[in-house]
Amino acid sequence: MDKPMNRIKEVLEEKGIKQTWLAEKLGKSFSIVNSYVCNRRQPSLETLFQIAEISRCECNFLCKKSL
């Protein structure tokens, strides 16, 4: 079974958003955000929607695997 993946890292790099800045906007620690970015942990749906709003992208884009 495939490990759940997200594209948060890809979006942050594309938009020039730093993990520390995102962590501050989300009210979460850098280590939590880093675990989302590195796919060691998956964000809740609420957090995923917040990340999409902050990064100005579609939530479903964050959930799809890169081809």
Number of neighbours of residue 51 by Cβ within 10 angstroms: 24
Q: What percentage of the chain carries pLDDT values higher than 90? A: 81
pLDDT at 1: 46
Count of the separate structural domains present in the chain: 1
Is 60 exceeded by the pLDDT of residue 67?
A: no
The span from the CA of 22 to the CA of 17, in Å, is 7
Q: What is the mean pLDDT of the chain?
A: 91
Cβ neighbors of 57 (< 8 A, separation 6 or more) are: 11, 15
Overall average pLDDT of the 1-24 stretch:
89
Which CATH number belongs to the domain containing residue 43 in this structure?
1.10.260.40
| Mean pLDDT of all residues in 28-36 | 98
Asked whether residue 32 is domain-assigned, the answer is: yes
Residue 2: inside a domain: no
The pTM for the full model equals 0.86
Which structural domain, as residue segments, surrounds residue 41? 8-61
Pinpoint the alpha helices (H) of the chain: 8-15, 19-26, 30-37, 45-55, 59-63
